[in-house]
Amino acid sequence: MALITGASRGIGRALACTLGRGGATVVVNYKKNADLAEKVVAGLEEAGGRGLAVQADVETVEGVEALFARVKDEFGRLDHFVSNAAASAFKKILDLKPHHLDRSHAMNLRPLVLGAQHAVPLMKAGGRIVALSSYGSARAFPTYAALGPMKAAIESWVRYMALEFAPYSINVNAVSGGLIDSDSLQHFFGTPGMPNMSSVLDHIPKGRLGTVQEMADTVSFLLSPGAEYITGQTIVVDGGLSIVAPPFFADSSAPLSPSKRPAGKE
Ligand SMILES: NC(=O)c1ccc[n+]([C@@H]2O[C@H](COP(=O)([O-])OP(=O)(O)OC[C@H]3O[C@@H](n4cnc5c(N)ncnc54)[C@H](OP(=O)(O)O)[C@@H]3O)[C@@H](O)[C@H]2O)c1
């Protein structure tokens, strides 16, 4: 029995479908897109799971409370809580207003902490909490200042929660994504002044965007019995983006450019 915030689209939807294929019951939280959330529920029921779409705005304290009250009323327990929903204003620091800062905290960090406070009493030994982070937690790039530090705080909270909840046998981890092909990435690169997305692909060692399924598969692993001894960690899924620095291989020329795969020895 899993609860995923923001599961009507993107990574949350891919995760709900993945868990559904394994026969899980999934609460599909959403804010606006009821039709998409109901489609996710229909899809995961077709795949052999069970679903319940629950509208709740996790940016508000009341929304988080209502969401968990519904989980408690319907199921009386919870095995997995995935804090996935996120939203931010993409602006220069000098243009950020106090309400942008307050909303980013309320939307991107507080639901993990309040959610964990509701989730833990509903969990038995073996419960899991996973939060979604991004490479903006440790790297700086244009317009991400309202969100990146919230992601850094998520990774820190994950460590504190892992410590405090370990005696209850509840593991807490984060999955940090690089550039993942989704609506939100399109929206981010649509910010006026942002470089063309294709210009950054050369700087990702894997040479492409990640997929929502690759993120979902990693979260799914952290929810599985195989991840029993992993807690307090942030698993990075970024095609190698965070390991590179200038000078970039992509900008080099012969004989450095890795243009051809070396021939194998006969
Ligand atoms: N995409 C990337 O490149 C990338 C990279 C690294 C990390 N991540 C992280 O992965 C997570 C998911 O990202 P994504 O790209 O899959 O997002 P997305 O496609 O923008 O989807 C966001 C989801 O959150 C829901 N949502 C938005 N505001 C909400 C609110 N106030 N209350 C409840 N639900 C709300 C949306 O529901 P409605 O549409 O129904 O409102 C939607 O289901 C985020 O934490 C993000 O920071 C993403």
Task: For the chain, give every domain's residue range.
Answer: 2-240
144 classed as catalytic:
yes
List 151, 168, 229, 265, catalytic entry:
151
Position 157 scores a pLDDT of 99
Q: Whose CA is nearest to atom 24 of ligand 1?
A: 6
For residue 110 and ligand 1, the question of a CB distance below 6 A is answered with no
Position 258 scores a pLDDT of 72
Position 250 scores a pLDDT of 85
CB count within 10 Å of CB 225 equals: 6
CATH architecture label of 2-240:
3-Layer(aba) Sandwich (3.40)
Distance separating alpha carbons of residues 48 and 3, to the nearest angstrom? 17
Position 262 scores a pLDDT of 75
For residue 177 and ligand 1, the question of a CB distance below 6 A is answered with yes
Question: Is residue 44 within 8 Å of residue 17, measured between CB atoms?
Answer: yes
List 144, 160, 260, 265, catalytic entry:
144
- Residue ranges of alpha helices (H) inside the chain are 10-21, 34-46, 61-75, 98-108, 110-122, 148-165, 183-189, 198-201, 212-223
For residue 132 and ligand 1, the question of a CB distance below 6 A is answered with yes
pTM of the model: 0.97
Ligand 1 mean position, distance from CA 247 (Å): 33
Q: Whose CA is nearest to atom 23 of ligand 1?
A: 6
For residue 87 and ligand 1, the question of a CB distance below 6 A is answered with yes
DSSP structure class, residue 180: B
Phi-psi region of 140 (alpha: psi -120 to 50; beta: other; left: phi over 0): beta
- Of 149, 156, 201, nearest to 174 by C-alpha is 156
Ligand 1 mean position, distance from CA 85 (Å): 4
The best mutation among 31, 141, 194 to test binding of ligand 1, ranked by most ligand atoms within 8 Å of the C-beta, falls on 31
Contacts 24+ apart (CB under 8 A), 51-55: 51/16, 51/20, 51/25, 51/26, 51/27, 52/25, 52/26, 52/27, 52/28, 53/8, 53/28, 53/29, 54/27, 54/28, 54/29, 54/30, 55/29, 55/30, 55/31
The tens place of each residue's pLDDT in the chain, 266 residues long, gives: 999 999 999 999 999 999 999 999 999 999 999 999 999 999 999 999 999 999 999 999 999 999 999 999 999 999 999 999 999 999 999 999 999 999 999 999 999 999 999 999 999 999 999 999 999 999 999 999 999 999 999 999 999 999 999 999 999 999 999 999 999 999 999 999 999 998 899 999 999 999 999 999 999 999 999 999 999 999 999 999 999 999 998 888 888 887 667 777 65
Q: Whose CA is nearest to atom 43 of ligand 1?
A: 6
135 classed as catalytic:
no
- Phi and psi of 47, rounded to 5°? -80, -5
